[in-house]
Structure 1
Amino acid sequence: MSNSSPDTVTITASNPAVKVRLSPGVKRLFGFIVPVNLGIYIVVGAVPGILLPLQIQGIDEANKAANLAIVTGIGAFAAMIVSPIAGLISDRTRSRFGRRTPWILGGAIATGLTLFGMGFANGVVQLVIAWTIMQITLNLMISPLTALLPDRVPSAVRGAFSTLVGIGMMVGILGGQILGASLASDIQAAYLILPGLMIVIIALFVVFCPDTDSRSRVNEKFSFVVFLKTFWVSPRQHPDFFWGFMSRLTLYTGYFIITGYQLYLLQDYIGLGDGAVALVPVLGLVHLVVIVVALAFAGPLSDKIGRRKPIVIGAALLMGISMLAPMIMPTVTGMFVFTAICSLGFGAYMSVDAALMSEVLPSEGTFAKDLGVLNIAATLPQTIGPFLGGAIVVGLGYIGLFPVAIALAIIGALCIAPIKSVR
């Protein structure tokens, strides 16, 4: 596969034995991708995992589950719509700083300002508005950032790059949970410190890992039809992309049904009450350790053996198995077992599936847009998950969440099998 970016080298991705020599630009990209994702996902870990649920609980504790579903569901719906649009805009951007840099930096600054304002919200409606804006600005940054993998990383080392992306994400999420818990008594300070850290890291990244000048690019003439295609990749023309999309959609829905209610599961299903907040970062530490092991092993292994599908299928099934633990053991031990096994599967799935999907993207000229469409499979579950989870909790109680999540994980594994262009 040949990639046009000056930061990449020509390689043969189908030969797992090939030795890839990375240029200085790609090496810097490898060096910065962990801190960049760390900075972003500290925010992602702290806000929806700790700070937002506590804000909602402080407003109306009796209806906290329903209100959390409303706030996060509406925000995730906005993210789902914005993600491919942000990708389309990024793909078509012509500037001396490249296609991605203006949106990555601008999105980081806008997200920081939004979170600062969110710290002063004192009603559910205000939180809905602030969280929705934050989801929009966050995706203006993340959609172009995800395009760096197919844009600038040689195919034969995409598993390793995905591993570093995943490590930055997971360490960031855990760090966010720890910082969020430690700053829980001063939410306004948390909403100032966390995005400030993110903006500094992003600024360093765009300076040391600059994109190539895109002013000479020739884009397809914009039209309403082009805009509508932002949200669509034909399953008939690109069946492998479709099956990968469906795998993410179903697996992530099952995952968010459980993790989206983690704090309330610990409080009410496990019975920890106010002690649940302190256990979240402890579970996060277990999650981090196990997922880093999975990421470090699975991504490079898929590069070495030249196979992605068996690892992705096995990882999805492992996640489904993990959800039996808290269903059978509604205890702290059950939650620790679930966290450890699920993290092992999720880490392997995340790193290898990212590399797999980068090899079935429909067009080199629309990487960010197509990844934005793919990102719907990760953001739509954040819309479906809270509403579906809320309905399940109301009708069946918290224990009803687990069988549904298991079934969705199995479907996610089965969707990988029909993919033909990747082994």
Structure 2
Amino acid sequence: MTADNIEQPDNQSPQPKPLPGQIYIRPGIDDRPDLDKALTPEDKKAIARLAVHIEREQPDDSAAHAETQAVRMSTTGSPAVATAIPPTPIADASSAFLDMRDPMVAADGSTPTKPQVNRLTVSFTLAALLRTAPWAMLNMVALPALVDRLVGNSLGGGHGTPLSAEASRMAGAAPLPWLAMIIAIGSVIGLIANAIVGVSSDHTRTTVGRRTPWIIGGGLLSALFVLPLGALGNVAALLFFWILLQITYAMLAAPLAAAFGERLPDKFREHAMRWRGVGLMVGQMLGVALGACGIAFGGGLPFGLTAIVFILAAFVPVLVWPKESSSESIAAVKYKFGPAIKSMLSLPTGDENAGFRRAYGARVAMMTGMSVMTVFQWLIVRHYVLAAWYMDVRSVATSAPAIWATCMAMMMLAIGTCAGAALAAGCSEQISEWCEARGVATRTVVVAACAVVAASIVIPLVLGVLLSVTVIDCGLFVYGVVSGFAFGMYDVFNQDVVAATIPDPRDNARYLAVFNVANTYGVVIACCLGVVAVMSAGYVALLAIAILAVLVAALLTPKTA
């Protein structure tokens, strides 16, 4: 009973006073004064001055998510690392499995339903395929073929008279320095653009979300800047548009990587990661195959087809996945790009990071060797592997062979590499269990994979003296399968090595962000060494450098506990 219960209307007779204890006054409720009436205006102003201003929620930094960095690692390496189950997955300190949070809730706070999870999985798989295919088409087919055409090498140009061996070597080496320069500068610009776009998209405030505007804009601008490439007549203009493409492609790729870590709950992320790896694998194969077919059957460089796929990459993911929530509620804060770039380029110091620095050096060496074979793949096939066959056809006064021979060889390489990566993804779990049962260290598998990659490079080295196109194509297919399988195994098991060298698992995101920069360093070093090697001793020296770099990676791989 309260005081309210005993109040009587005025028209009723007076009631006796309540007995002691009959009225219960609730502390803090019934005896609470009305502050609006009890406080003076001066008191209210004094209290307002003491009020604490609560900031709105700040956007999460995508660079601080280990999952985002792992996605970027799988993009720059073998797709097998995204499709397979590594021995020790990179731990994410923000994962719901490490505390009492609900694993069905995504990092952005949403709880997608089962149909929405399926839509997210499909969208990221299609996004991986659609953004990888045109990029592989450009880097491995269209750009090298365009540089080869602009420099005006004499091989395959329609000359009826045979060339001397020295003239053929110099003619085949002429496009390589220009291609190396474009790729090296573009890689550095792309690295910086990824950091800037990542920070900018983290703080984007729109009604359609943080990532969607960047994805659509990046895909459309990439399509716009890729169209003029086929009409360019000099390397300087090609370099300019290639730099623009690096920036616009970062606008497409970086937000997709961040969205993958934000929108998928921990419960379903591994399943989606595998399908995304399948998309990467198929995208790389289709990109090279479509580019080669476009040149072989269409006669022109496939820049129009590339632009169409970029447009699809801009719209398909955002139309398939559930609509991204508005980001207008996040705080509008000032941010700087310098700290993000500096933290990405700063290699950790101290004795506790000695193993990580060694793993970092091994990755640089491995990516140097692999980049030598991928960046210059078109030129290696056209001016070394098929060089003897081209010369033999010319020596009998036959008209110059069509470009289809090089295109077919590139297609066989792409199909073989995809098959090898798929085989590595399928076998990695069984090999991991076998190693664990017999006490075989992960480093042993990594070193063995490096040795197989180095041995596989001998195959194109030998194919350069053959004259049969059929044998050459079969040999390149075998090389693609072996090297794709070995590099896939290296990437999968090297993740375990890298994870073991990180002193504090809570810093996985920061260390992986630094580790991913090693891929860019490998590309730049490969371009520099490739120019020196080919201009000095031809493509034989280029292949020898690739073998040496991969063996150095095996020697630098640190031991794990």
Identity within the alignment, %:
23
Q: Tell me what 1:232 maps to.
A: 345
**Does the alignment pair 1:196 with 2:330?**
no
Tell me how far 1:342 sits from its aligned partner: 0.6
The farther-off stretch of 69-78 and 333-342 is 333-342
Distance 1:9 1:371, change over 3 A: closer
Shift of 1:4: 12
The answer to whether 1:33 aligns with 2:124 is yes
Whether the 8 Å contact between 1:50 and 1:177 is mirrored in structure 2 is yes
2:524 pairs with 1:383: yes
Alpha-carbon offset, residue 75 of structure 1: 1.7
2:221 is aligned with 1:110 = yes
Query: Structure 1 residues 156, 223: CA separation in 2 closer, same or farther (over 3 Å shift)?
Result: same
Could you tell me which amino acid in structure 1 is paired with residue 454 of structure 2? G
Paired residue for 1:87?
198
Q: 1:280: Cα distance to partner?
A: 0.8
- Decide whether aligned partners of structure 1 residues 140 and 223 sit closer, same or farther in structure 2, where only a CA change above 3 A counts: closer
Contact 2:208 2:326 in 1 (8 A): yes
Aligned to 2:395: none
Give the Å deviation of 1:40: 1.2
1:340 aligns with 2:481: yes
Provide closer, same or farther for how the CA distance between residues 109 and 34 of structure 1 changes in structure 2, counting only shifts above 3 A: same
Aligned to 1:11: 97
Pairs within 5 Å for 1:395-410: 395-410=536-551
Cα shift at 1:129? 0.9
* TM-score, normalization by structure 1: 0.79
With over 3 angstroms needed to count, the CA separation of the structure-2 counterparts of 1:60 and 1:228, relative to structure 1, is closer
Q: Distance in 1 between matches of 2:543 and 2:199?
A: 37
Q: CA deviation at 1:111?
A: 0.8
* CA 361–174 in structure 1, closer or farther in 2 if over 3 Å, else same: farther
Q: Is the 8 A contact 1:85 1:230 kept in 2?
A: no
Q: CA deviation at 1:99?
A: 3.5
1:149-228 residue pairs with structure 2 within 5 A? Answer: 150-152=261-263, 161-184=272-295, 185=298, 187=300, 190-209=302-321, 210-217=323-330, 222-223=335-336, 226-228=339-341
Q: CA deviation at 1:132?
A: 1.5
Q: Which residue of 1 aligns with 2:181?
A: 70
Matching residue's letter, 1:203: F
CA–CA distance in structure 2, aligned partners of residues 227 and 51 of structure 1: 33
Cα shift at 1:257: 0.8
The structure carrying a bigger helix percent of its residues is 1
1:37 partner letter: A
Q: 1:324 aligns with which of 452, 458, 479?
A: 458
1:51 shift after superposition: 1.6
Letter of the aligned partner of 1:405 in structure 2? A
User: How far did 1:112 drift?
Assistant: 0.8
Question: Equivalent residue of 2:345, what SS?
Answer: coil
Matching residue of 1:16: none
C-alpha RMSD over aligned residues: 4.1
SS in 1 for 2:194: helix
Q: Give the paired residue count.
A: 408
Task: State the structure with more CA Rg.
Answer: 2
- The alpha-carbon distance between structure 1 residues 140 and 316, as it changes in their structure 2 partners (threshold 3 A), is farther
Letter in 2 for 1:64: P
The answer for the alignment partner of 1:292 in structure 2 is 422
Query: How far does residue 169 in structure 1 lie from its aligned partner after superposition?
Result: 2.1
Q: Please, what TM-score do these two structures have when normalized by structure 2? A: 0.62
Report the Cα distance in structure 1 between the residues aligned to 2:215 and 2:512, rounded to whole angstroms: 15
Contact 1:84–1:373 (Cα < 8 Å) also in 2: no
The aligned counterpart of 1:250 is: 365
Match of 1:44 in 2: 135
The DSSP-based 3-state class of the residue aligned with 1:93 is: coil
Give the conservation status (yes or no) of the 8 Å contact 1:392–1:398: yes
- The reply to whether residue 56 of structure 1 matches residue 168 of structure 2 is no
1:199-249 deviation digits (Å, cap 9, x = unpaired): 224412123334454444569853475255354345138947655544432
Structure 1 residues 126, 366: CA separation in 2 closer, same or farther (over 3 Å shift)? farther
- State the partner residue of 1:121: 232
Aligned partners of 1:83 and 1:372 also within 8 Å:
no
Query: How far did 1:116 drift?
Result: 1.4
Q: Could you tell me whether the CA contact under 8 Å between 1:361 and 1:370 is conserved in 2?
A: no
> Counterpart of 1:284 in structure 2: which amino acid?
A
Letter in 2 for 1:262: Q
Residues 99 and 201 (structure 1 numbering): CA distance in 2 closer, same or farther, change over 3 Å? same
Shift of 1:181: 1.9
Deviation at 1:287, TM superposition (A): 1.6
Matched, 1:282 2:412: yes
